[in-house]
Amino acid sequence: MDIGFIGLGNMGAHMARRLIEAGHKVIVYDTRQEAIGDLAAKGAVAARSPKEIADMVETVMASLPTPDIVLKVATGSDGVIEGKKVRRFVDLSTTGSVMAQRIFKELGARNIVQIDAPVSGGVIGAEKGTVAVMASGPRGDVEAVEPALKVIGKFFFIGEKSGAGQTMKLCNNVLSAAGMAATSESILMGVKAGLDPRVMLDVINVSSGRSTATEQKFPQVVVPRKFNQGFTAGLMLKDVNLFLSEAKALGLSSSVIEAVAAIFKLTCDELGPDKDMTQIVQPLEKRAGVEIRAPNG
């Protein structure tokens, strides 16, 4: 299959590479020339704009950081919407269902089908092809790109309603965010009381409190003080706020997630939105006067 791929960041570069290695012809674009060069060296064809890609292929995928950027790439000047050949726009980003439905409508007016297919599993999952791919859109069009999406990760068809995949992604991401926030406070309390965080994690991970935060993020990223999970605090706050916005529109109360949003906002305000999401622990450590690290190392 000939596939266009826009957005070659931490996630996108790995997903595009996997498509190339699976034998697909991949035409790539990014605002960073070095990112294009890295993929071109692996066999990708370089393009100069989203429109140029959409002039060359029927299927265009995108992995971009924010809803506004996705909207611009999809429907803006020199965007996918102006392409002569494109039939499907597969959005692997996290935009929320409202934006997905807006893009679906605008592209639909030009006979281009929007498929929202956000992914979850982090940079490691993108590298290994183990991310969850949550696709929604007209079934026939989703089935047409399903083989390529299965190269990227584990495929799930969420439904035909535009934005359904985005809703599923937000429901997942707030659990990840909440797990990180709750684990930070839990482990910090134990450390303040004199416990070894490594022992705490060993116990939790064979008990009822385990999560991806206790199984992977804390032992591999936080306790060794690496803070290199590969997903920024600002992007996580964006996802949490999108969830809160959609929950409010549905008339739901989300007091727990509101508290999680406040902790991520604190991290962004004090450290900056570009810091790793695992650095959520640092403003809390500062206030507690202790750090979550292995004793004597």
SS3 109: coil
Which residues pair with residue 28 across a beta bridge? 5, 46
Dihedral of alpha carbons 139, 136, 148, 8, sign: positive
**Strands annotated E in 138-263:** 153-159
51, 72, 105, 169: which one is catalytic? 169
Q: Which two tokens stand for residue 190?
A: 């134990």
Residue 260's H or E segment, with its range, is helix 255-271
Q: Scanning the structure block, which residue is given the tokens 């399903």?
A: 146
Q: Which two tokens stand for residue 285?
A: 């450590």
SS3 113: strand
Q: Is 169 a catalytic residue?
A: yes
Radius of gyration, alpha carbons of the chain: 20
Question: Under a CB-based contact definition with an 8 Å cutoff, are residues 136 and 158 in contact?
Answer: yes
Question: Under a CB-based contact definition with an 8 Å cutoff, are residues 269 and 255 in contact?
Answer: no
Residues tagged active-site: 169
